[in-house]
A and B are shown apart, each in its own frame.
Chain A
Amino acid sequence: MKKQFFIALVLIFIFNAAAAQEVNVNMGPEFMAAKRSTLSGIIGYDQTGYYVLQSKLRGLNPQTMLAHFDNQLSLTKQVELSPSYEGKELIVESIVYMDGKIYLFTSFKNHKLGKKFLFYQTVNKSTLTPNNDLKKIEEIELNKSKDGDYWFTTSKDTSKILCIKNLPNDKDEPESFGIKVFDSKMQLLWEKSVELPYAEKLFDISKYIMSNEGHVYILGRLYEGKAKETRKGKVNYQYKIFAYNRDKSEKEITVSLGDKYITDLQMGISDAGEFICSGFYSNMGTHSIDGTYFLKIDPKNNKVLSRHAKEFPTDFLTQYVTEKEAKKIEKQEQKGKDFELYEYDLDELIVREDGGAYLIGEQYYVRVVTTTYSTGNGGYSTRTTYYYNYHDIIVISFNRDGSIEWCEKVPKRQVSTNDGGFYSSYVRALYNDRLYFIFNDHIDNLQSWSTGKLKNYTAGQNGVVTLVSLTREGKQNRTMLYKAKDIETITVPKVCEQISKNELIIYGQKKKTHQFSRVVFK
């Protein structure tokens, strides 16, 4: 007992000291969970604590678990969700927290009727089991070989939920889908059936969002002739945005930069209701990026308010790299040859209250190495190793008019093997227009992060959890949140989440030991 008290005191001291005046860290108790289980997401919280989704693998099947943690981050209840109706199993499609209620969305495929039905029911917050109030909200006619899908998203203020039914069309049929928007009490606000003038095989829906007012935006990639990124050395696709307003008006907007490749796009909605779409483009292909694209639309009349494409400045490309690398880049640029940033994924577009936005990306790629070795008895064997690379984060801040305000790199180096990069990547938070990034790092990088000479993160003695803050002006500050060796678990940044204006939940896991902690921004 004394020992535990002493450890608790030490931990409190460490985490308060590590908070670096910007944040407070409250560690929850460790808890044991099934071997092949992990956190899927935090769905909501109320005065009693947090509701989280966990997933457990049974065979190769993920099982959904719903759990409740109190405000001290202790596990109070955990239930495996296996919804059924009169002995017939329902497939869990989504779980959403709206207006203080947990809604469970499930589907049932009725082969006899040739239909896949979509239902919702509320979940009892005390028992975490579904209530007996199952209601049908949608159905899909099954195709011979396809079932169709249901997709969900909520508005930013969680006052509405969008349900898209993606119909199981044949590849030559027009792409078609259904939209239904419900309020937080699951009353249908409006619906629409859409048939696009493009064949299913040539149009891929990539993202969809909904504004607080219930306007729906769908982003997709349209290929020309064949679903290939490049044909005869030229860009073979363009992005399309479809805006569907609650008053049933609609607009199709083409996002194209001629012979430039738009590698990825993200969508967001400002507090004033303006629709913003932004992303990266490249001159070379879809594996590198050369600049950013920005588009703003007035939702009232779907009029384009601003549209910009801007190359990354050279000082951004040379930021936080070694002197040798910087000189090489500068030389290349002076010769008129393009230098591009390689393998950056576009993660997020955050629209600020002032109407400007942050665009966040991360360098991510997988390297596969196959080695052949002698088995010693005259035979040979091969071994394949997957190297998961999660490196620098980039942040581009846009002004309200879409021009670039500043670009900043957050250098990091995370390489792991054969683990899917489980402990790599980052979690971000936004508080008072200041961006925060939390990730696993090497302790030496706290000093050398700006020199371009980074050490790879490894769990253990040299592992730290780093907090990087970016001010509204793009000034970067890096501090240690806590040392990896001070806790029993390893932080899993990919599943951590900002749950309220000033709170972020951190999740740690090592084998069967799991732990939540709370970061409060000051």
Chain B
Amino acid sequence: MKKLLLIATSLFLSYSIYAQTDDDDLKAMFDDGNISTSKNVLKINSLAWPAGDLPIHYERVLLEVLSVEVGVGYILDMETIEIQIPYEDRVGSKGNGYSLWVNPRLFLTGNAPEGYYMGMLYRRRAYSFEYTYNDYVIINGIQSPFAKGRFMVDFMYGFGLRFVDSGLYQSSLPSFNKMRMVFPTSVKLGYKF
């Protein structure tokens, strides 16, 4: 009887240990430092500097296929290079300033924040010499992980309209120059957390 009890106990124990080991093994396989479940990405924009803009972006996953990216940047007082149609009328300094970016994104492949997405971008660039750009842009992009999934590269392009508010200079602007076409392109590098 004692022998039988001993066998039963050892069988139960070995099963429990086996089950425990199985579960521990699974847990280890899924321990990816929460990279796959991270919902936040902090990014820098490598293509905004020709416009004198130095923004930092933050993207937050809202739903499985929806995220929103916001950004804020400091604008340097410098000559800028940016494609606009018609081309920039005002040469010389517009002063320094700030930029604001709001960009909701719908992911068509993959789950946010990875995959191919479409979205809208509102961008405001306000300069100290009472010169403001309000851009409304339709965008496409693709965001992929690299370097063990913790870092992201986000390539985005789009086209839209720029509404120019030149304050004191408004009256001197030809009317056709108050609205322009813009083609924002960005390559952002991000950290997922």
Q: Determine the distance from Cα of A60 to Cα of B107 in the docked complex, in whole angstroms.
A: 9
Q: Is the CB of B37 within 8 A of A87?
A: yes
Q: Determine the distance from Cα of A111 to Cα of B145 in the docked complex, in whole angstroms.
A: 9
Which A residues are in CB contact (< 8 Å) with B150?
111
A59, A60, A112, A136: the one contacting B32 at CB < 8 Å is A112
Interface residues of B in 94-112 (CB under 8 A from A): 106-111
Q: Is the CB of B65 within 8 A of A59?
A: yes
Interface residues of B in 147-163 (CB under 8 A from A): 148-150
How near does chain B come to A359, taking the closest CB pair, in angstroms? 37
Interface residues of B in 107-149 (CB under 8 A from A): 107-111, 116, 145, 148-149
How near does chain A come to B175, taking the closest CB pair, in angstroms? 23
B22, B32, B106, B109: the one contacting A110 at CB < 8 Å is B32
A59, A60, A61, A88: the one contacting B30 at CB < 8 Å is A88
Question: Taking the complex as formed, is A45 at the interface, i.e. its CB lies under 8 A from any CB of chain B?
Answer: no
Question: Taking the complex as formed, is A109 at the interface, i.e. its CB lies under 8 A from any CB of chain B?
Answer: yes
Which A residues are in CB contact (< 8 Å) with B26?
85, 134, 136
Interface residues of A in 430-478 (CB under 8 A from B): none
Task: Look across to chain A and name the residue whose beta carbon is closest to the beta carbon of B111.
Answer: A89
Q: Determine the distance from Cα of A136 to Cα of B32 in the docked complex, in whole angstroms.
A: 16
Which A residues are in CB contact (< 8 Å) with B22?
135
Q: Determine the distance from Cα of A89 to Cα of B31 in the docked complex, in whole angstroms.
A: 13
Question: Taking the complex as formed, is B35 at the interface, i.e. its CB lies under 8 A from any CB of chain A?
Answer: yes
Question: Taking the complex as formed, is B14 at the interface, i.e. its CB lies under 8 A from any CB of chain A?
Answer: no
Given the known interface contacts A58-B65, A89-B36, the answer about A110 and B110 at a Cβ–Cβ threshold of 8 Å is no
Q: Determine the distance from Cα of A184 to Cα of B36 in the docked complex, in whole angstroms.
A: 32
A60, A86, A134: the one contacting B116 at CB < 8 Å is A60
Given the known interface contacts A58-B65, A59-B65, the answer about A111 and B29 at a Cβ–Cβ threshold of 8 Å is no
Q: Is the CB of A61 within 8 A of B108?
A: yes
Which B residues are in CB contact (< 8 Å) with A134?
26
The residue in A85, A110, A134 that gathers the most chain B C-beta atoms within 10 A of its C-beta is A110
Q: Determine the distance from Cα of A182 to Cα of B145 in the docked complex, in whole angstroms.
A: 34
Q: Determine the distance from Cα of A21 to Cα of B148 in the docked complex, in whole angstroms.
A: 63
Question: Taking the complex as formed, is B27 at the interface, i.e. its CB lies under 8 A from any CB of chain A?
Answer: yes
Which A residues are in CB contact (< 8 Å) with B88?
none
Which A residues are in CB contact (< 8 Å) with B35?
111-112
How near does chain B come to A82, taking the closest CB pair, in angstroms? 9
Q: Is the CB of B108 within 8 A of A111?
A: no
Q: Determine the distance from Cα of A451 to Cα of B76 in the docked complex, in whole angstroms.
A: 79
Interface residues of A in 86-104 (CB under 8 A from B): 86-89
Q: Determine the distance from Cα of A324 to Cα of B31 in the docked complex, in whole angstroms.
A: 71
Which A residues are in CB contact (< 8 Å) with B110?
61
Which A residues are in CB contact (< 8 Å) with B25?
136
Q: Is the CB of A117 within 8 A of B107?
A: no
Chain A to chain B contacts (Cβ below 8 Å), 23 pairs? A58-B65, A59-B65, A60-B108, A60-B116, A61-B109, A85-B26, A86-B30, A87-B37, A88-B32, A88-B37, A89-B36, A89-B111, A110-B31, A110-B32, A110-B36, A111-B32, A111-B35, A111-B148, A111-B150, A112-B32, A112-B33, A113-B32, A115-B29
